Each structure stands twice: as structure tokens, then as C-alpha cells.
């Protein structure tokens, strides 16, 4: 069950020649694949490319109509290795995943693919997750393109340019027999716009034909001595062929070509930001007409020497806008200018931020500094002067405290880490090897668990060195998505082989929840196009783990705590695995809310559970908050005038998971939590029961009030 359904949007994929397509960047990529005659597509979900996978999943019937095979791959390496079909056959294929972590995982497959080269067009669509919107370490995919010699496209972020880049990518790949990487930043993936559609194309050569007419060319296999010839072929044949194609097809663009002694070189993906900055400075208009010559590199690797020399030949000062570090482009262009005898002074990281995302504010500051050096800063269109704060106001950072990212309301992973904190009270602190996924939030307050994280599915492997005799065992965390990605082999099987005595906790919430709720092998949902329902416990036992406990309801805090404590104190040697099961609450709500709305509209009985706190009973200790951290659990003023501590309160976002009450019970806290049922369209029995309860409660309240009045005198 994906985060978002594209059922309606994918209908546009059937648009024909000359019709206008309107929508999101990700959807435009899918349409471009169809128009390019792609034969197969594979990928692994991850922001910002998850929606592309969701679009492809929702477009299965359209893909089938055109003979296109689509796979949800087990990992990015699996997706990249799928492109092997283009090595011996004239098949156009594409794979997609999040970058750079996806490129890291897929690097072995990409290196082998690039070494031997391809016959059919091979396109690697990478969602570049760099900058302040990223959830991963800050790296660029550019280095991998250079390392393995994959041509890297970075198109201007508008739909016509993105669609053109997909089509050009396939043709460039075939012209140079080299895989091509298409880089799309977060904003490009989700930009909205329109373009004139072309006709969808069936593959000129099909997968069936490849299977029925197998071909074999050992010179394309990355095996000595062929690998030595591959390296020479890359430089002597493929590179020149790529450069020729790029020049002849005009993949890179020149704007504002008027005689001038200054100019700006920019990555295609940063073109919109630069143009907005130039408009603010009065050096461009809203239609993109720039008064400063621009060289837009829609292909950032390879760099075309002739185009760089042509652009810089009559310039005295040139600015290179290259997002991120290292500054590969700036160094490359500097070497080209020096070798070509062009004396233009080159600027880049000297006036721009050395690292980080190039937002409009950063680029504005850098371009202003460059223009000041050149003596060309215009008088009009200057950035507005900052308005000083009103007297008595305080900076926002002093008024609003920082809010760390955390688990969603009702998340089934929260009780797991609550149980770990309760066990910690009894057994002391343990080394916790964390993993990629929602569970990584346990590192932050209020849980403050987790010492390291090494990559997706590598939680158990991250604790491998700590497999020594000691009074405590190391704890490793792993999600079900990471488990099937590579954790089964790199973590669990590795622990079995090396006789690890540590504990691995596998969070089984039925989906790859962190990437949008896509189905995986252990999902219990009935997926008509995929095989699901394969239990993690069977896989774990299948590789040799003897000590396994499955907690089927993580919200049962006592059961969760007992399983963890048993694993950490067991006298049995060997790897221990606890599988914590409960459905992802976000996906559960996506599934239930439409049903509830339909039942309410139809007048059917609906019961919703909510929790609350009795303000007269709450002591204001707030241990419940420190052991839960649920966003629906907050504080409010104490109604008792004799007490000053604020009391706990549950707001309307509560989904009724019950953890707060479980925490109060398991941690032996105050009995202030209560559960209420909200009944819509009640039956006659519901109304009778409500009247009886109200009567009994009213009688008890009146009796209590009368007793208090007697004691008052």
C-alpha cells in the first residue's frame, strides 16, 4: 500500500502525439520512458524517487499493453544489475533509485555494466537527495559517474527539459555504448508543468525475442583480459562518441549570447535558481532572457572541452555554479582553460558556499560577490535590506525550541523503544547499533538510544565487531525493509556464521514504511502482482538462528519488554532475534479512514477509541511523556489552584493505540489515563448502555460531592 496512489494521474500516460500533458515531474519521466520504447524498468523506492516507483506500479496495465516489464527490485544493486539485459541485446532499459545511497549500493553492478558497455540504451534515473531536504549523509552522485565513466545528465528543472533528457539519454547511451545516469533533484521530481506529448512506442526489440534468440559476446564481460581493453575503449571510442553526440545534438545550452567579458557556467539543475537570482538583480526577465551570457551544462559529465573554450574565450571573468563538494566541475574547467591557453579568471567556491544546497539566497550572495569583483553590480534590482526587528522582540530560536524528528502518532515502533528504556532501567545501558528507517528516530529524544548507523539493513553488521564475551550483549536494530534489502545475508546470516551472541531486533511493520509504504515479501496485504506473506521468522530460522521470539503486538508493552529482557539475559549462546510486529500506523490510517468515512456517510455504526488523562489524578510527573514521546501527548495548565505543575493531556490527533496507558501501567506510574469510545450512529443498545452508565456515574458524583460538603464544615 503505497503512500500515494497515482491511479487517476497515470491515465495521462495514454496521451498521444500532439496532446498536452500536465502534471508532476515524476509522471513526466514515466511518459518519456513510454515514448522512448523502453523494454523494461526496475527500481528500488526511496525519496525523492519513490513516487516514480508508485507511478509505475499504478501503470501496470499501460506497461503491459506496450510489452514493458516492470520490477520492484530487492535492492538498488538488483535494479542496476537488471540493466545487464542491454549488454547483449538492443533493448532499452531503465532503473531508478535514491542517490547517492542507492548509487553506493549499486556501484558494483554499475561498474561491471559500464566496463563492458551496452548495445541497447541503459538509463539510470537517480533521485539526487542532496541539501537541506535530505534525510541522508551529504554526498553527490557525480563522483560515481566519474569513477565508472557513466555519462551524467542534469537537465533544467522543467517538464520539457526532463522529458527531452530521458529521450536524449537513451540515444546517447546507444551512440556511445555507455550507460547514462539521469540526475533529478527533489524539486525537479515534484515540479509541475506541461509539455506536448508524443506517441507511446513499443520496444523495437522485445524481451521475448532476446530469450528466444540468445546472444553471447565474451568481450563484453568484465573479465581479464577484456577489462584492460574496456578501459582503452572507454577513452578512445566511447568518450569521443559521447562528446560528438552531445555537441551535434546541442544537449548543453547557451543563453544570452551577446558580446561580454563575463559569463556564468551553471549545472542544468540549478538553472531556475540562477535565473531567479539574475531577475532579482535586474539582469534577466521572467521569460529567461539573461543579460549575462550563460553556459548551461545539461550534461555535467563528460565536460565538453570545445564548448567550455568557446564560451570562455572572450571572457575575463567566469563564475562556475556547482552545487556541493568536491568541486569536480570547477577543477575540470580550470584544467581545460589552462590547457587551452584561455586566460579567463575562474570563480566558484571562492564566492559561493563551499558545500551545502545552493538555495536562492546562497546563489544570490555568490552572484552578487562575483559581480562586485567584476565591477558589474547593477544599481537596480538589489536585494532588499533586512528589516530590523521591533524593539523588545526576541529571535525565534530563543522563543521556539528545536523539535527533533520523531515517530508518527501511534507508531508501532514507539513501544519497542519504550520497552528498551524500561529494560535499560533494570539491566543498564547497552550498545545499540541502529539502522536506516523510521526506527532511526530512536537515537533522538526522548529515547536517546542508538550509537551508530552504517547503512540500510546493516544494523546487525554494525555490531559485528562487538561479538566478544562480556556481561552485556550488543543490540542491533533492523527494519523489515532493510532485512529484505540485504540484512538477511549481511546481518543475520553473518551473525550465524560467526556465532554472534548479540541481539537483533527486526521491526516488522508490514511495509517499507520509511519510503512510502510499499509492499515487501513479508507484507500481509494481498498484492495481485507480487508475492507477499513470507514470514521473517521462517527466513531467520532458515539461515540457522535457533533463538527467535516474535511479538505479534508491539503495543503490548509487558510482552515486548519480557522478550527483550529474555534475549539479553538468556544463557543460550548464539544469535538472538526478536521480531516486533505491528502495522505501520500511517498506512493503517490510510486504509481505515476511507472505510470510516464511507461508514459514516452510509449511517453505519462506527466506534473510535481515544485516550485521555484525568487532570485531577495526574501528578505532573510527566514520565509518561519521557517514555513515549507521542505527538498527541502534551501538557496543559493544572486545574487545581493549589498545584502549579502542568498536567499531561491527550489532544485530538490521538489514534487510540493505547501506548500511553501501557506506559503508565508498565512503568508503575499514576493511574490517570482512561480510554474512551466515540460511537457514531449508535444502536438502541448503545443508547441504553450510555444512559445506565451516565446514571451510575452521576449518582457516584453526587454522592462524592455530598461527602465533600459534609467534610467542608
Digit-coded pLDDT (tens) for 61-104? 899 999 999 999 999 999 999 999 999 999 999 999 988 889 99
End-to-end CA separation in angstroms for the chain: 64
- 455: closest CA among 19, 194, 102, 114? 102
Once rounded to an integer, what is the mean pLDDT over residues 452-478? 92
Look at residue 4 in the predicted model and tell me its pLDDT: 62
Instruction: Identify the bridge partners of residue 107 per DSSP, sorted by sequence position.
Output: none
Q: What is the mean pLDDT of the chain?
A: 90
| Residue 551 pLDDT greater than 90, yes or no | yes
Q: Do 491 and 435 reside in the same domain of the chain? A: yes
| Residue 641 pLDDT greater than 90, yes or no | no
Look at residue 385 in the predicted model and tell me its pLDDT: 46
Residue 524 binned pLDDT confidence (cut-offs 50, 70, 90): confident
| Residue 389 pLDDT greater than 80, yes or no | no
| Residue 381 pLDDT greater than 50, yes or no | no
Phi, psi of 42 (to 5 degrees): -135, 160
Q: Do 650 and 713 reside in the same domain of the chain? A: no
Q: Do 327 and 450 reside in the same domain of the chain? A: no
| Residue 386 pLDDT greater than 60, yes or no | no
Least confident of 28-37, 288-297, 383-392, 689-698: 383-392
Instruction: Identify the bridge partners of residue 611 per DSSP, sorted by sequence position.
Output: 675
Q: Do 26 and 141 reside in the same domain of the chain? A: yes
Instruction: Identify whether the C-beta of residue 582 lies closer than 8 Å to the C-beta of residue 509.
Output: yes
How far lies 136's CA from each of 48, 131, 230, 586, in Å?
12, 9, 34, 22
DSSP string, 106-142: HHHHHHHHHHH--SS-EEEEEEE--STT-SS----SH
Q: Do 612 and 640 reside in the same domain of the chain? A: yes
In a domain, 389, yes or no: no
Q: Do 235 and 322 reside in the same domain of the chain? A: no
Question: Cell match 516507483: residue?
Answer: 53
Whether the bond between 302 and the residue before it is cis, its omega within 30 degrees of 0, is yes
Look at residue 382 in the predicted model and tell me its pLDDT: 47
DSSP string, 7-58: TTGGGGGG--TTPEEEEEHHHHHHHHHHHTT--EEEE---TTSHHHHHHHHH
Residue 2 binned pLDDT confidence (cut-offs 50, 70, 90): low
Instruction: Identify the bridge partners of residue 479 per DSSP, sorted by sequence position.
Output: 507
Q: Which comes out higher in pLDDT, residue 51 or 193?
A: 193
Rounded distance between C-alpha atoms, residue 7 and residue 46, angstroms: 20
**Host domain of residue 525:** 414-587
What cell was used for 346? 575562474
In a domain, 314, yes or no: yes
What pLDDT digit, counting tens, does each position of 561-602 carry? 999 999 999 999 999 999 999 998 888 888 888 999 999 999
Once rounded to an integer, what is the mean pLDDT over residues 463-487? 93
Name the percent of the chain lying above pLDDT 70.
Answer: 96
Question: Cell match 564566492: residue?
Answer: 351
Instruction: Identify whether the C-beta of residue 511 lies closer than 8 Å to the C-beta of residue 582.
Output: no
Instruction: Identify whether the C-beta of residue 579 lies closer than 8 Å to the C-beta of residue 537.
Output: yes
In a domain, 398, yes or no: no
What pLDDT digit, counting tens, does each position of 224-265 carry? 999 899 999 999 999 999 999 999 999 999 998 788 999 999
Total domains, the chain: 5
In a 13 Å sphere around the CA of 264, the CA atoms on its Cβ side amount to: 31
Q: Do 243 and 256 reside in the same domain of the chain? A: no
Q: Do 701 and 672 reside in the same domain of the chain? A: no
How far lies 589's CA from each of 92, 175, 283, 517, 552, in Å?
39, 49, 50, 12, 19
Phi, psi of 657 (to 5 degrees): -70, -25
Q: Do 67 and 208 reside in the same domain of the chain? A: yes
Q: Do 535 and 650 reside in the same domain of the chain? A: no
Q: What is the DSSP letter of 641?
A: T
Name the percent of the chain lying above pLDDT 90.
Answer: 62
DSSP alpha helix (H) spans, 461-581: 480-482, 494-497, 536-542, 557-569
What pLDDT digit, counting tens, does each position of 331-351 carry? 999 999 999 999 999 999 999
Rounded distance between C-alpha atoms, residue 177 and residue 165, angstroms: 17
Instruction: Identify whether the C-beta of residue 618 lies closer than 8 Å to the C-beta of residue 611.
Output: no
Least confident of 312-321, 535-544, 569-578, 642-651: 642-651
Look at residue 657 in the predicted model and tell me its pLDDT: 85
In a domain, 522, yes or no: yes
Q: Is 4 exposed, middle or buried (0-12, 13-18, 19+ CB in 10 A)?
A: middle
Strands 294-297 and 253-255: antiparallel
In a 13 Å sphere around the CA of 299, the CA atoms on its Cβ side amount to: 28
In a domain, 358, yes or no: yes
Instruction: Identify whether the C-beta of residue 611 lies closer than 8 Å to the C-beta of residue 650.
Output: yes
**Which of residues 229, 248, 267 is at a domain's end?**
248
Q: Do 673 and 659 reside in the same domain of the chain? A: yes
Look at residue 466 in the predicted model and tell me its pLDDT: 92
**Which of residues 311, 344, 374 is at a domain's end?**
374
Look at residue 704 in the predicted model and tell me its pLDDT: 79
What cell was used for 502? 548479540
Look at residue 378 in the predicted model and tell me its pLDDT: 73
Strands 299-301 and 151-153: antiparallel
Look at residue 311 in the predicted model and tell me its pLDDT: 96
Q: Angle at Cα 53 formed by Cα 51 and Cα 55, nearest 5°?
A: 65
Look at residue 51 in the predicted model and tell me its pLDDT: 80
Look at residue 1 in the predicted model and tell me its pLDDT: 53
Q: Do 496 and 627 reside in the same domain of the chain? A: no
Q: Is 157 helix (H, G, I), strand (E, B) or coil?
A: coil
Q: Is 72 helix (H, G, I), strand (E, B) or coil?
A: strand
In a 13 Å sphere around the CA of 110, the CA atoms on its Cβ side amount to: 31
CATH code of residue 641: 3.30.70.20
What pLDDT digit, counting tens, does each position of 642-699 carry? 888 898 888 888 888 888 878 877 766 677 888 888 899 999 998 999 999 899 988 9
In a domain, 701, yes or no: yes
- 477: closest CA among 455, 445, 499, 496? 455
Q: Is 84 exposed, middle or buried (0-12, 13-18, 19+ CB in 10 A)?
A: middle
**Which of residues 537, 552, 587 is at a domain's end?**
587
In a domain, 592, yes or no: no
Q: What is the CA radius of gyration of the chain?
A: 30
CATH code of residue 39: 3.40.50.970
Residue 414 binned pLDDT confidence (cut-offs 50, 70, 90): very high
Once rounded to an integer, what is the mean pLDDT over residues 454-464? 91
Residue 502 binned pLDDT confidence (cut-offs 50, 70, 90): very high
Residue 559 binned pLDDT confidence (cut-offs 50, 70, 90): very high
In a domain, 612, yes or no: yes
| Residue 130 pLDDT greater than 60, yes or no | yes
Once rounded to an integer, what is the mean pLDDT over residues 605-626? 84
CATH code of residue 348: 3.40.50.920
Instruction: Identify the bridge partners of residue 182 per DSSP, sorted by sequence position.
Output: 125, 153
Amino acid at each position: 500500500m503505497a503512500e500515494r496512489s497515482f491511479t487517476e494521474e497515470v491515465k495521462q500516460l495514454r496521451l498521444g502525439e500532439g496532446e498536452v500533458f500536465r502534471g508532476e515531474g515524476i509522471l513526466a519521466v514515466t511518459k518519456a520512458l513510454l515514448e522512448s520504447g523502453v523494454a523494461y524498468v526496475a527500481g528500488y523506492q526511496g525519496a525523492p524517487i519513490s513516487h516514480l516507483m508508485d507511478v509505475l506500479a499504478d501503470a501496470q496495465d499501460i506497461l503491459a499493453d506496450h510489452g514493458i516489464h516492470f520490477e520492484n527490485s530487492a535492492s538498488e544493486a538488483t535494479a542496476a544489475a537488471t540493466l545487464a539485459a542491454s549488454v547483449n541485446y538492443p533493448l532499452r532499459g531503465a532503473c531508478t533509485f535514491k542517490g547517492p545511497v542507492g548509487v553506493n549500493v549499486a556501484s558494483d553492478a554499475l561498474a561491471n555494466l559500464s566496463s563492458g558497455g551496452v548495445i541497447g540504451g541503459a538509463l539510470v534515473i537517480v533521485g539526487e537527495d542532496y541539501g537541506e531536504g535530505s534525510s541522508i549523509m551529504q554526498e553527490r552522485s557525480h563522483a560515481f559517474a566519474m569513477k565508472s565513466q557513466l555519462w551524467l545528465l542534469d537537465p533544467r528543472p522543467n517538464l520539457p527539459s526532463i522529458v527531452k533528457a530521458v529521450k536524449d539519454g537513451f540515444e546517447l547511451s546507444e551512440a556511445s555504448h555507455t550507460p547514462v545516469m539521469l540526475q533529478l533533484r527533489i524539486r525537479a521530481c515534484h515540479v509541475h508543468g506541461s509539455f506536448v506529448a508524443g506517441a507511446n512506442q513499443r520496444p523495437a526489440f522485445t524481451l521475448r525475442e532476446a530469450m528466444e534468440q540468445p546472444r553471447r559476446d565474451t568481450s563484453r564481460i568484465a573479465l581479464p583480459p577484456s577489462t584492460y581493453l574496456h578501459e582503452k575503449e572507454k577513452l578512445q571510442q566511447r568518450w569521443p562518441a559521447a562528446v560528438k553526440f552531445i555537441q551535434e545534438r546541442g544537449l548543453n545550452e547557451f543563453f544570452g549570447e551577446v558580446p561580454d567579458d563575463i559569463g556564468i557556467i551553471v549545472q542544468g539543475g540549478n538553472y531556475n535558481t540562477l535565473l531567479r537570482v539574475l531577475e532579482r538583480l535586474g539582469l534577466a526577465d521572467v521569460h529567461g532572457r539573461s543579460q549575462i551570457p550563460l553556459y548551461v551544462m545539461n550534461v555535467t559529465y563528460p565536460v565538453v572541452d570545445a564548448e567550455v573554450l568557446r564560451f570562455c574565450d572572450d571572457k575575463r571573468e567566469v563564475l562556475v555554479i556547482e552545487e556541493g563538494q568536491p568541486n569536480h566541475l570547477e577543477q575540470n574547467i580550470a584544467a581545460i582553460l589552462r590547457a587551452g591557453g584561455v586566460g579567463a579568471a575562474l570563480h566558484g567556491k571562492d564566492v559561493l558556499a563551499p558545500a551545502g544546497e545552493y538555495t536562492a539566497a546562497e546563489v544570490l550572495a555568490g552572484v552578487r560577490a562575483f559581480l562586485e569583483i567584476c565591477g558589474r553590480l547593477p544599481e537596480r534590482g538589489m536585494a532588499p535590506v533586512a528589516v530590523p526587528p521591533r524593539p523588545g522582540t526576541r529571535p525565534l530560536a530563543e522563543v521556539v525550541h528545536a523539535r527533533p524528528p520523531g515517530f508518527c502518532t501511534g507508531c508501532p515502533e514507539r513501544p519497542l523503544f519504550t520497552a528498551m528504556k524500561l529494560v535499560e532501567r533494570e539491566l543498564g545501558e547497552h550498545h545499540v547499533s541502529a539502522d536506516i528507517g523510521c526506527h532511526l528516530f530512536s537515537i533522538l529524544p526522548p529515547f536517546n538510544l542508538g550509537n551508530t548507523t552504517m547503512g540500510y539493513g546493516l544494523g546487525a553488521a554494525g555490531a559485528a565487531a562487538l561479538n566478544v564475551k562480556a556481561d552485556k550483549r550488543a543490540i542491533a536494530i533492523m527494519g523489515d525493509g532493510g532485512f529484505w534489502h540485504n540484512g538477511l545475508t549481511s546481518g543475520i546470516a553473518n551473525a550465524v556464521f560467526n556465532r554472534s551472541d548479540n541481539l537483533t531486533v527486526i521491526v516488522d511493520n508490514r511495509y517499507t514504511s520509511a519510503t512510502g509504504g510499499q509492499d515487501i515479501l513479508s507484507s500481509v496485504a494481498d498484492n495481485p502482482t507480487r508475492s507477499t506473506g513470507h514470514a521473517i521468522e521462517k527466513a531467520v530460522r532458515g539461515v540457522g538462528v535457533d533463538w527467535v521470539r516474535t511479538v505479534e503486538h508491539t503495543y503490548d508493552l509487558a510482552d515486548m519488554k519480557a522478550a527483550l529482557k529474555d534475549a539479553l539475559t538468556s544463557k543460550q549462546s548464539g544469535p538472538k532475534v526478536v521480531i516486533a510486529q505491528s502495522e505501520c500506523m500511517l498506512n493503517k490510517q490510510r486504509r481505515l479512514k476511507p472505510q470510516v468515512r464511507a461508514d459514516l456517510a452510509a449511517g453505519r455504526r462506527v466506534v473510535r477509541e481515544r485516550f485521555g488523562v484525568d487532570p485531577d489524578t495526574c501528578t505532573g510527573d510527566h514520565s509518561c511523556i519521557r517514555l513515549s514521546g507521542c505527538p498527541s501527548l502534551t501538557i496543559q495548565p493544572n486545574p487545581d489552584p493549589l498545584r502549579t505543575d502542568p498536567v499531561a493531556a491527550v489532544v485530538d490527533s490521538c489514534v487510540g493505540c493505547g501506548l500511553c496507558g501501557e506506559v503508565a501501567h508498565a512503568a508503575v506510574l499514576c493511574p490517570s489515563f482512561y480510554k474512551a469510545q466515540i460511537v457514531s450512529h449508535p444502536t438502541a443498545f448503545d443508547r441504553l448502555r450510555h444512559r445506565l452508565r451516565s446514571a451510575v456515574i452521576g449518582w457516584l458524583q453526587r454522592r462524592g460531592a455530598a461527602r465533600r460538603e459534609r467534610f467542608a464544615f
